[in-house]
Structure 1
Amino acid sequence: MGMALAELVSGLGGLLFLWSAVQQFLPENFQYHIQKWFSRLPNYFIQHMHITFEEYNNNNGRTNEAYTCIKNYLGAKSIKKAAYLKADKSRNSKSLQFTLDEGDEVIDEFQNVKIKWVAYQETVKESGHGSGRNSMPFEKRSFVLKAHSRYRDLVMEDYLNHVMKEGKSIQFQNRKRRLYTNNKDEDCYWKGGRWSYINFQHPASFDTLGMDPLKKEEILDDLDSFKTGKDYYKKIGKAWKRGYLLYGPPGSGKSTMIAAIAKYLDYDIYDLELTSVRENAELKQLLIETSNKSMIVIEDIDCSLDLTGARKNDKKESGDEKDGEDNNKKQSSETEEDKNRSKVTLSGLLNFIDGIWSACGEERVIVFTTNQVEKLDPALIRRGRMDMHIEMSYCKFEAFKILAKNYLDIDSHPLFGEIRQLLEENEVSACDVAENLMPRRKWRDDHVEICLLKLIEAIKNQQHKKGKKEQKEEEVQEQERSTKFE
């Protein structure tokens, strides 16, 4: 037995010496494939399965989505388990991102099965740009999964689906929210798509929103039901989306509500400017390029477009009649303003909201805002399109108490009784209340009372102006009645 082992060791030593001599004359690409074959040789004798996930797809050179998900998943696992880590932070992430260092490994456990992950990094030369010493080297990264073959079905189905889902969730939670707007310049389509964006860091939340607590709770319950309703929407055969109509006077907090919803759901916002969309086909393309887990917002929809499809011709016909040919030319000609005018129709917008193409993504929220809900076409805001109608009314006492807590850090005050009566008798917007509650100078002990008195004075001034306006209108109406009688 000893002699057999000695002969085996001697033979292996001879092979290694021969390989070191031969590899000096072989191209580097060929050496890489030989080494890869030798590394897989033990797999023919050991009952283990290996799955390799490379950083880039071989067919198009793009980043492998599976690799990215695994990187996020293992980064979270390796913080406590791995000995060597790499850390980096991109400008679009909230915090540091960790991943396995080259050659390091981590053991994951899933349904009482241990699964090993190993990170590899190799310097190879591109075969597409020559061969041998003239090729350009690049770093080839990959993750290799190792598990016993008896767990093949579990790994291939349940475990890898679990890793992909968790990796996407980690990536979504770590990214910074974005505010998108549709590009107006056609040249931008070739540079960065139809949408451009900035990082969105609005501080508004439901905690700071001046609104009746019962109405706020109703909205939060609806958002929670939507967020966890994937299986339910699939069961009833509806696209996983929700529509909200925010209506009310200017300054009532509609834009703040949008920011609060986006923060609560952790969604990106796509601020759609309809007047910049030329036609229905472009509107459809914009929808296709939005991502899942996002809000599509159209503010002041009653002012965005004439959605009736009617086009008025302001040109007046001259008194002199011309021959038929000149008349046809005049009717067929378009002004420059007509060419640049949006051709989006009500039908196109309705298809955008809940047509077949609206199901091209999932977990989307569509929000319309308007100051005059009565001007909107009933087909645009019916249930099923705008599922929840939220009235953003004038500030009342319950909403005022939230603002007083946020701005002045108080729950009660002797002046609250007078303020309550004034708010019930007058129509005061939430932004006007908040503006008067904000201290103008460095904080002092009497700032609370100063701000509350300032609010009382502002409401009384508004009440006085409103009374004078109503008196003047009555005088005009009385004068008109007198003139008509005479």
Structure 2
Amino acid sequence: MASPANGALERCKSAITAATSLVGAAMLLRRLVADVLPAGTPPPPLLGALLLLPPPGARRHAVVIEEFDGAFYNRVFLAARAYVSTLLAASRTTAAAPAVIKASLPRGAGAAEQITFAMRPGTAVADVFRGAELTWRLRSHGGGGRRRGDGGGGEAFRLSFDARHKDLVLGAYLPFVMARVEAMAREQRQAKLYSNEWRKWRPVRLRNAATFATLAMDAALREDVVGDLAMFLGRKEYYERTGRAWKRGYLIHGPPGTGKSSLVAAISNHLHFDVYDLDLGAVRSNTELRKLLIRMKNRSILLVEDVDCALPAAPRREPDGGADGSNPASKHSKVTLSGLLNMVDGLWSSSGHERILVFTTNHADRLDTALLRPGRMDKHIYMGYCGFGAFKELAATYHGVDDDHPLFPEIEALLKEVDAAPAELAERMLATDDAGAALESAAKLLRDRKAGTEEDGGAGYVKQKLHVGPRRPRSRPVPPPGRGGASAMATRRLVFDEVLGASRRQGRGSSGRRGGMRARGRGRR
């Protein structure tokens, strides 16, 4: 008679045998189904469950897009962020939008402009492309989302999709995202002004409306600058053939108020280039300068204003003969001339292409000759005092005055004899809406300057900008003679004795019988 234990063992063996047969049959059927169904086509859900196949949601692939690619910004990440912003704007009223999103206005934008939407870390938004369902999820890593330039921090997008759509996503969807963002940038193109703050570039919208048509400058000089810019943009193959970096250096010099900064804005608006206004005083080392340089976009302008004041007085090389920044002691120093020269035409100047480097200064003679040699500053542009042609453009721009105004002959003669900055004359033109009164005010300025009867002694605008001219000496108190001087000396001595006595009493109170000086000495030990 079989025992109950033996019966249970037999039943367990039968169950294991049946399960093994079932698994073997399922594996055989899976092979047959894979041979019959087209590649990439999932089986029906019931058949998949019978064949022990995982659900479709478990077979998902993902593409991770980091914010930084080494020390560079990842262009795919920037494009993904802009594209996801359009998804949030389109789906903010539907269930596909995340529960919490960020809304902001671009820096420098007005309240009437379109609000920009962005995801918060940990949220996701869905998208559909050619029937494929995709999910964008933003995550933050590397110290609470603090972005670093070494690739170890920042944010990242995780694009997940079904495994059968892998080729579609990699071959069509991601290129579609890049092309869509590029088209959006062309449609909404507006130059931006970047400034370096806390080792990073901070952008605002460049709203300077200066153009070559409104700029008060000599007509021949304007045509020369515009032609040089056109030649630079059209010589990509030339720079590649000659092995040179595709960049151009301009030194814009001249007295204050002659339109140097306005010329930079006109170049930006003419080429639709962003402007990176580099404050060398905020850069702590040559290494930080290189990081800022490689994080610039292509088709941009690097501007260093008043370069004669921004350049450090340090030597090009360290006392031990090494290059600047080559030893630990110089890593925390300011930017040196050597670092600036490497930025202009060293190896790091080739980190981007189609860039324009602009230096402005009021005193070109104060610059180091190494900075001005050919290959670093390719073209020198002198913005001088206002000529008659530039004044006529001012009159036409501000008041629509034609070429036959009665005051024009007198103003033309005066401009040949006296110097006046365009900013000075523009200030007079803006003082009134009456064209005749504005021209008369400008003519009066020139007459007074010629006669030497100007209120500030002539060239006051330039003197104010350059901080030159006689300075009023500071008045020093003179002790009165006789008893007054002795009384003042006695008063100062009395005050000193009171302060010294109070400090001694405080030392005795805190140290008991010991003297205050000795107690302080022990404290230092």
Q: TM-score range by the shorter chain?
A: 0.5 to 0.7
Residues 48-106 of structure 1, C-alpha deviations (whole Å, 9 max, x = no match): xxxx996856999xx98548658979999xxxxxxx9x9x99634987699xx96766x
| Contact map agreement 1:276 1:342 (CA 8 A) in 2 | no
2:217 to 211, 221, 224: 211
Query: Deviation at 1:167?
Result: 4.1
Report Cα offsets for 1:355-388 as digits up to 9, x if no partner. 0111112222111111121222222012211111
Which residue pairs with 2:450 in the alignment? Answer: 463
Equivalent residue for 2:147?
none
- 2:445–2:454 contact (8 Å) kept in structure 1: no
| 2:160 is equivalent to residue 168 of structure 1 | no
Change (3 A) 1:68 1:119: farther
Question: Aligned partner of 2:401: which letter?
Answer: I
**Structure 2 residue aligned with 1:427:** 419
- 1:298 alignment partner, one of 279, 293, 304: 304
* Shift in CA distance, 255/68, structure 1 to aligned 2, threshold 3 Å: closer
Does 1:400 find its partner at 2:414?
no
Aligned length: 364
| In 2, Cα distance between equivalents of 1:436 and 1:414 | 18
Partner of 2:242: 236
The 3 A distance-change label for structure 1 pair 75 and 461 is same
C-alpha distance in structure 2 between counterparts of 1:301 and 1:421, whole Å: 35
Q: Specify which structure has the bigger relative contact order, considering alpha-carbon pairs within 8 angstroms and separated by 6 or more residues.
A: 1
1:448 aligns with 2:439: no
- Aligned-partner Cα distance in 2 for 1:53–1:263: 41
Q: Residue 380 of structure 1 aligns to which amino acid in structure 2? A: L
Q: Distance in 1 between matches of 2:429 and 2:138?
A: 65
Equivalent pair of 1:54/1:67 in contact (CA under 8 Å)? no
Asked if residue 246 in structure 1 is aligned to residue 252 in structure 2, the reply is yes
Give 1:27-176 correspondences, 5 Å limit: 34-35=55-56, 56=65, 65-66=75-76, 69=79, 91-92=105-106, 120-121=134-135, 164=178, 167-168=181-182, 170-171=184-185, 174=188, 176=190
CA distance in 2, matches of 1:373, 1:397: 25
238-247 or 64-73, which deviates more: 64-73
Counterpart-to-counterpart distance in 2, 1:423 and 1:213: 16
**TM-score when normalising by structure 1:** 0.59
Among candidates 222, 228, 245, match of residue 222 of structure 1? 228
Task: Please list the CA deviations of residues 26-63 of structure 1 after superposition, one character each: whole Å capped at 9, or x if unmatched.
Answer: xxxxx9x722589x9xxxxxxxxxxx996856999xx9
Distance 1:343 1:37, change over 3 A: closer
- The answer (yes or no) to whether the contact 2:286–2:335 under 8 Å persists in 1 is yes
Q: Structure 1 residues 90, 251: closer, same or farther in 2, change over 3 A?
A: same
Paired AA for residue 248 in structure 1? G
State how far apart, in whole Å, the 2-side matches of 1:423 and 1:59 are. Answer: 55
Which residue number corresponds to residue 277 of structure 1?
283
Residues 456 and 387 of structure 1: CA distance in aligned 2, closer, same or farther (over 3 Å):
same
Q: CA 1:12/1:370 → structure 2, altered by over 3 Å: closer, same or farther? A: closer
Larger radius of gyration: 2
Alpha carbons of structure 1 residues 418 and 385: separation in structure 2 relative to 1, 3 Å = same
What is the root-mean-square deviation in Å for CA atoms of aligned residues?
Answer: 5.1
What's the offset of the Cα at 1:401?
1.6
Give the equivalent residue in structure 2 for 1:367. Answer: 358
Following the alignment from structure 1 to structure 2, what is the Cα–Cα distance between the partners of residues 451 and 59? Answer: 55
Tell me if 1:179 matches 2:193. Answer: yes
Q: CA deviation at 1:170?
A: 3.9
- Judging by fraction of residues, say which structure has more helix: 1
**For each residue in 1:442-482, what CA deviation from the matched residue of structure 2 results, as whole angstroms up to 9, or x when unmatched?**
x4xxx111111111001111112289979xxxxxxxxxxxx
Deviation at 1:432, TM superposition (A): 0.9
Q: What is the aligned partner in structure 2 of residue 133 from structure 1?
A: none
Using the alignment, how far apart are the partners of 2:204 and 2:84 within structure 1? 29
- 2:193 and 2:277 in contact (8 A); partners too: yes
User: Does the aligned pair in 2 maintain the 1:245–1:390 contact within 8 Å?
Assistant: yes
SS of the residue corresponding to residue 450 of structure 1 reads helix
CA contact (8 A) 1:55 1:67 kept: no
Deviations 1:315-363 (A, max 9, x none): xxxxxxxxxxxxxxxxxxxxxxx99996433222111111011111222
SS of corresponding position for 1:425: coil
8 Å CA contact retained: 1:92, 1:176:
no
1:388 to 379, 383, 395: 379
Tell which deviates more after alignment, 363-372 or 222-231. 222-231
What's the counterpart of residue 414 of structure 1?
Answer: 406
